[in-house]
Amino acid sequence: MEEELEFGQFEIENRLRNLCWTVSGDYQLNLKLDTLSYSKSIYVSLYDAIKQGAFSRYFDRNAFGLYLMKKLYYGAEEQPLTSLAQLCVDSAVYKKIGRERLGVLEIRRKAFEDLMEYDFSRLVASFIGQIRLSVMQEAVLGPRTMPDRIRRAVDMLRELWETTDTMDVIKTVDALYNWLVDPHFEERHGSLETVLAVTMEELREFRWQDFLEEEAYEEDFDRYLSQVTNAATQLQEQGAKEEELRRLRTKRVLIDQEAADKMYSYIELNYGRSYLSKTEQERVNRSLCRGAHEDCSLYFTDGILSGMVKKNYQSEYARRARSENLKAYGHCMRVSKRNIEQLSDTLRRALIARSEQEILPSEYGKIVPTKLWKVGRSRDKKLFERELKKDSSDFAVHVLIDASGSQKRRQSLVALQGFIISEALSIVEIPHQVMGFCTFWDYTVMQRYRDYDEGREANQRIFEFYASSNNRDGLAIRAAADSLLKRPEEHKVLIVLSDGRPNDIIVNRPGSRNPMPYSGDYAVRDTAAEVRKIRAMDISVLGVFAGEEQDLQAERRIFGRDFAYIRDIMNFSSVVGRYLRRQLDDAD
């Protein structure tokens, strides 16, 4: 089937494009149509073409796409935003085009039937999916009873049936997103008017490479504008196509030698100068970039705000992220301080227990007069007592935070988790390092927020955390373990805050060995193997899961029994505290 689909791809696309042109009346329209779903359902592909053509006919597609870009510019999460946009676009066009072309409603109904058949489990897994499912069921089965919250969302969609104003569609998407996905969006960023006030200059300066399916070096804004607008006006969600896309293409980027030579300066410009010398950097890469990571490089930095080459949009973006993270900390300061107090108290009690004096019978030490009767009468030579005191300061901890683009939605929460751990460790004076990691091109960027022996004031730099690009978890964990192994402390602990989704685009340099794409099962197996290796080196590893429930299984495969799924920040200190206390108690 795959070969047949590939062979007939041009014919399928041509048919769908002609249908889209006919509906829109614009034969210059250049849209990316959903040919991928054709093998599963011809009706899904047909209705997608009809709906895109109808939206372009009745509404201002460019204005709608720019709104989505401006919402994303302020940190909205792409997938739920485009999912809600799809619902609104369908509601805004299907009755209008259905009155002109009677067969459209039947195509829509059959498309919904097919989607419910092969996509049901994914739809019911999220609240937005349940809204989509309710809309589909109503189209197929007629009016039905719905839960109040779903009915409220469906009623908001119905208000778009007769509108011809693009702004009405934008307002509904915005209201649904702020209600269902991010209730604090307006509080943090401002109203819809603030979002729409973002200028084209600001949009074009933003690094949209982090969001593109493939890396681009020019015209990233225009490419992503087209990509996100297509995703928002298509029928089927991008997430439902991911498995199909993996089979039909791999995530590789081909570059020439000139581009390869500019990589380092680009990384330096966008992530800050490295705190390692060139010689040290080369030594680290020779030592650690092996096996699955042989064509990769590590880049160690204190961040763009600390090692800025020149002021640019990326530095402004980093400042804005820090401001948002600090604002989020301010909103839940009481909860955060309670977590810090509880976690530090747990660690303090464990350290006190390790510091308690233990008196043991011995053959030397302080003589015990009551045992002197044994002299000449017993073979027991332990006539003395010796005081033993455990060392409470033989621990070092490394906190490694996944800073890839998939963490954007949880950015402030992840920063807060790292800050809570670091504050508690600082209070009980356990040396620790906190680093974030992401991968851009073939560089895995390791950003140091605080070093092992810095004071508590350094913890504030953790709020400089922001999410971007990809993530090569296996290499980052290997680099974190390497820093721990250099520490003099006997007991070492690595805490990894991640979403269980290692995923990296491969950059094919001239002369590279063209390794496998680092994603899916291959990446999970590599990361799990790395965790096993460093545990064999007597480094304790805890995975703190900060992702979506569908990725839980991958997280379990990577970290085994030592992983924590924290649904509520209120439980953060108790879950992490139990693990760290166990490491303290079990240490000899």
Res. 140: pLDDT tops 90: no
Strands 357-362 and 384-389, how do they pair?
A: antiparallel
In this prediction, residue 215 carries a pLDDT of 38
This prediction's pTM: 0.58
Distance CA 544, CA 566 (A): 7
Distance CA 358, CA 223 (A): 68
Res. 404: pLDDT tops 70: yes
466-501 burial code (b ≥16 CB/10 A, e <16): bbbbbbbbbbbbbbbbebbeebebebbbbbbbbbbb
Length of the chain: 588
For the residues 39-51, what does the mean pLDDT come to? Answer: 81
In this prediction, residue 279 carries a pLDDT of 92
Residue 211: DSSP 8-state: T
- Average pLDDT value for the chain: 81
Lookup: tokens for 36? 């991928």
Residue 192: DSSP 8-state: H
- The lowest-confidence range among 405-414, 448-457, 521-530 is 405-414
For the residues 539-558, what does the mean pLDDT come to? Answer: 83
Model pLDDT for residues 229-273, shown as the tens digit of each residue: 766 666 665 554 444 444 434 445 555 555 556 778 888 888 999
- The residues that bridge with 434 in the sheet, in sequence order, are 399, 450
Q: pLDDT: is 494 or 353 the higher one?
A: 494
Q: pLDDT: is 310 or 358 the higher one?
A: 310
Q: Are 462 and 414 in contact (CB under 8 A)?
A: no
Res. 539: pLDDT tops 50: yes
Distance CA 456, CA 170 (A): 46
Q: Are 63 and 169 in contact (CB under 8 A)?
A: no
Sheet containing 443-450: which strands, arranged edge to edge? 297-301, 443-450, 432-440, 395-402, 491-498, 539-545, 563-565
Closest CA to 45 of 79, 75, 15: 15
Tokens 């356990």, located at residue: 430
Category of 406 on φ-ψ map: left (φ > 0), alpha (ψ -120 to 50) or beta? alpha
In this prediction, residue 194 carries a pLDDT of 92
- The lowest-confidence range among 184-198, 275-289, 492-506, 507-521 is 507-521
Model pLDDT for residues 208-222, shown as the tens digit of each residue: 545 544 333 334 555
